[in-house]
Structure 1
Amino acid sequence: MPRKRPVPDETGSEALKHLKIDDTSSDSDPSDTEPTEHITNAFLDTICRNSLDFDFEEQCSVSLSITNIYACLVCGKYFQGRGQQTHAYFHSINDEHHVFINLKTLHVYVLPDNYEVMDKSLNDIKDIIQPTYSTHDVMRIDDVIGRGHDLMGHPYTVGCVGLNRVKHTSYINVIIQTLAHIRPIRNFLLTLSNLDKRPPLVRKLSMVVRRMWHARRFKAHISPHECVQEIVVLSKGRFGLDEEADPFELLVWMLNTLHGMVRKKKTSVVYETVRGKMQVAMRKVQDVSQDDMVEDVEATISTMPFLALSLELPPTPLFTHPSTDDEDERANIPQVALGTLLQRYDGTTTVETNGLVWQYTVTNLPTYIVCHVKRFTKHNMLEKNPTVVNFPVCNVPFGELLHVHGSTSVTYDLVVNVCHVGHQGKSAVDGAVLTEFEESPFFAYVRQGENLWFRVHDLQVEPVMPQMLFLSDSYIQVWQRN
């Protein structure tokens, strides 16, 4: 039987005298109605939290307008306005859904009577729409491994929340996971004030990160749809939805773009966290005969910043022993230690390319080091070097390995390991493997607490042992200074 709106009696009419009813088609001034506590329970029992999803763009489901949007707390649909002749007003009459919330002001109204209600039972909904964190909250967020439960009782780990994949965007999901686990950047996004005045990318990324670290979510997953769309638009299609792109290129683009949007006095929390410095020496290779006298060629030395250390893998052998059914297929894949790859930046190793000899010396280590394992060669990431990179997950002496003056005792722990997965096809001429892409080829290992690891592959989140990390094809690593 349809539910009827409550008709106030003579006593209740006294309470309604204090309500200001809005009969206009617009509500640009949300303070035009006074909240009441006399009718706080009216229709609140019709709210269906299982139908609510605030991860998507604030857009009217009828007019597609993006201004003055209200969400129906019964069915979850978005409508424009709340006055007469508005889509929300007609929805309240036609569908008898009466409770609406303004997605900007978080004021709750009952339509079509158009009065505001205030009730503490609505606070959880408001907190889902706009999660807020104090400095004290952020300081304690890493002290314990937070466990939350959605409305269905399904447990999830706070901070390790699955992200819904929008078409071919696993490469975007892993970068969002990466940024959400670099503490200074994460803390900045959690406590950022005046979000409405921030650039769209900063605002939308901040909302995704805030919802990832929320302990009282209605659902155990998040849709980063708005953030993904903003990346596509802002990059002018460089990073799209129709095919997987290079997550490392996206990470560098995101770091530089965020720096430009939030910097103050030529610096920002982004560069202060991940940017280091190195000295680059370059000299030409002399082509001389055996009898000629060779004079030392003076090197050109320059200092330059870096956001990541690119690690060159050794070439894949052209011929390998064929594996049998009883052998592990990975037994034939070459292996290399992380320390060996880092020798490129120790100040003594030289690299020769195109008639030039390069020598790299790291002079300043950042708080977080990003390492990029160069697996892909050409043909749009179809040729991949499958070499296994061996590494410990904690106390890696980057200062000693790189011979950084004054920082030889500095160690780092791994916090994020982005990996690539793909079926191995036939070998290319140079020994690289032609990779057959899977539908979602990128996933991330992320660390929570001291040594608890999770494998996050789009919506799938599962705990793993630290010993399992190096078994996958590492592509991007983020190391945190101890």
Structure 2
Amino acid sequence: ALSNVPPLRNYFLEEENYKSIQRPPGDIMFLLVQRFGELMRKLWNPRNFKAHVSPHEMLQAVVLCSKKNFQITKQGDGVDFLSWFLNALHSALGGTKKKKKTIVTDVFQGSMRIFTKKLPHPDLVSTWIGPEWGFLTPMEVSEPRLPQPAEEKAQLLQNAEYQEMMVESTFMYLTLDLPTAPLYKDEKEQLIIPQVPLFSILAKFNGATEKEYKTYKENFLKRFQLTKLPPYLIFCIKRFTKNNFFVEKNPTIVNFPITNVDLREYLSEEVQAAHANTTYDLIANIVHDGKPSEGSYRIHVLHHGTGKWYELQDLQVTDILPQMITLSEAYIQIWKRREEDETNQQGA
């Protein structure tokens, strides 16, 4: 999928772009850059003798640089790998978290505001108190008790600890949360596979929708608002949830258009003017099929020259209709922002 992103591909096709980058002695992470560049040049070589390319050297570099967190013999999670790989490439190219940018951040990095508000502990809110509106003493245990009034809770929320805080943050991809899958079966004793529109799960980033996040000791309400959209936007649809016992997969189908996804309404008002174009078109769609631990991946990619879609799985490459792409269990998507000339051509 990353090889189908023209700016990233073009950068790694020219070895001179990164050949002179100086790394500390003993640093093995630059091997990842070298192997990824070699793979790009093999994939896009018009004079390849064979119709397929072996990524073996690239996979060995991944195993080495990830300290065996990702292995050739064991399938890992696609989102975990994507997150690690993009950050590892950025770091190996000399990038830093804030100041120094690389081709990775130029292509994929956007920014957002995160508003966080701490919630009182449920046990604290429902504290029982005695007749004198004070905390219970051992002598008052047997006396009539009343629940803490709403005024007490309101007063508690006025404390600085529970005020909403805002931080600016960058992102390489946006995580989209799916609604909980139904537990009940239909009349044919088959599990109902729900469907949800893309814009419903994108509402998480409209600056108004609040979502509760729980830790082992504290609860928070968070809301998100985008402040900068990157040229290429990655969506990661959260299909897997882990608990202490197993990994569960959510089979919800996301209904999305292939083109013309306008994200202007998710930007804060003061930055909308700085974004001339906020319309995106899909260029890659990664699908996970099967069970969480035993499933397989396939990818849909757009051929930019012809506008045709192809489905790739291992060595199999087949044509696919755009209408069929929306019926798949999409897991990772890459969207390309339209530029002025492309918008004018679409309008014509």
Scaled to the shorter chain, the TM-score interval is: 0.7 to 0.9
Q: Which residue of 2 aligns with 1:106?
A: none
Q: Which residue of 2 aligns with 1:342?
A: 202
* CA deviation profile, 1:132-172 (whole Å, cap 9, x unmatched): xxxxxxxxxxxxxxxxxxxxxxxxxxxxxxxxxxxxxxxxx
Matched, 1:360 2:224: yes
Higher RCO, 1 vs 2 (CA within 8 Å, ≥6 residues apart): 2
SS at match of 2:227: strand
Offset at residue 382 of structure 1 (A): 4.0
The 3 A distance-change label for structure 1 pair 393 and 436 is same
Residues 372, 477 of structure 1: 8 Å contact kept: yes
Q: What letter corresponds to residue 48 of structure 2 in structure 1? A: R
SS at match of 1:231: helix
Offset at residue 298 of structure 1 (A): 2.1
Larger gyration radius, structure 1 or structure 2: 1
Moved more, 183-192 or 264-273: 264-273
* CA deviation profile, 1:448-470 (whole Å, cap 9, x unmatched): 12631111111111111111112
Matched, 1:186 2:51: no
State the TM-score, normalized to the length of structure 1: 0.56
State the distance in 1 between where 2:320 and 2:250 align: 25
Q: Which residue of 1 aligns with 2:248?
A: 383
Counting only pairs closer than 5 Å after superposition, residues 133-148 of structure 1 correspond to structure 2 as: none
Residues 312, 318 of structure 2: 8 Å contact kept: yes
| Structure 1 gaps, min length 5 | 1-177, 424-434
Residues 339, 401 of structure 1: 8 Å contact kept: no
Counting only pairs closer than 5 Å after superposition, residues 47-446 of structure 1 correspond to structure 2 as: 178-193=1-16, 199-263=30-94, 266-286=100-120, 287=125, 289-293=148-152, 294-295=154-155, 296=158, 297-323=162-188, 332-354=192-214, 355-378=219-242, 382-402=247-267, 405-406=271-272, 407=275, 410-422=278-290, 435=292, 437-438=294-295, 441-446=296-301
Length, aligned pairs only:
287
Residues 226, 266 of structure 2: 8 Å contact kept: no
SS at match of 2:242: coil
The 3 A distance-change label for structure 1 pair 403 and 341 is farther
Moved more, 373-382 or 456-465: 373-382
Offset at residue 261 of structure 1 (A): 1.7
State the distance in 2 between where 1:446 and 1:381 align: 32
SS at match of 1:377: strand
Offset at residue 363 of structure 1 (A): 0.8
State the distance in 1 between where 2:224 and 2:74 align: 35
**Residue number among 300, 304, 310 corresponding to 1:454 in the alignment:** 310
Q: What letter corresponds to residue 231 of structure 2 in structure 1? A: T
SS at match of 2:334: strand
Q: Which residue of 2 aligns with 1:148?
A: none
Counting only pairs closer than 5 Å after superposition, residues 2-81 of structure 1 correspond to structure 2 as: none
Q: What letter corresponds to residue 285 of structure 1 in structure 2? A: L
SS at match of 1:456: strand
Q: What letter corresponds to residue 195 of structure 2 in structure 1? A: Q
Offset at residue 271 of structure 1 (A): 0.6
Offset at residue 215 of structure 1 (A): 1.8
Residues 395, 411 of structure 1: 8 Å contact kept: yes
Residues 288, 298 of structure 2: 8 Å contact kept: yes
Offset at residue 396 of structure 1 (A): 0.2
State the distance in 2 between where 1:442 and 1:238 align: 19
RMSD: 2.3
Offset at residue 409 of structure 1 (A): 5.5
State the TM-score, normalized to the length of structure 2: 0.77
**Residue number among 320, 323, 331 corresponding to 1:467 in the alignment:** 323
State the distance in 2 between where 1:361 and 1:226 align: 40
State the distance in 1 between where 2:293 and 2:224 align: 35
The 3 A distance-change label for structure 1 pair 261 and 338 is same
Residues 277, 337 of structure 2: 8 Å contact kept: no
SS at match of 1:257: helix
Identity fraction in percent: 34
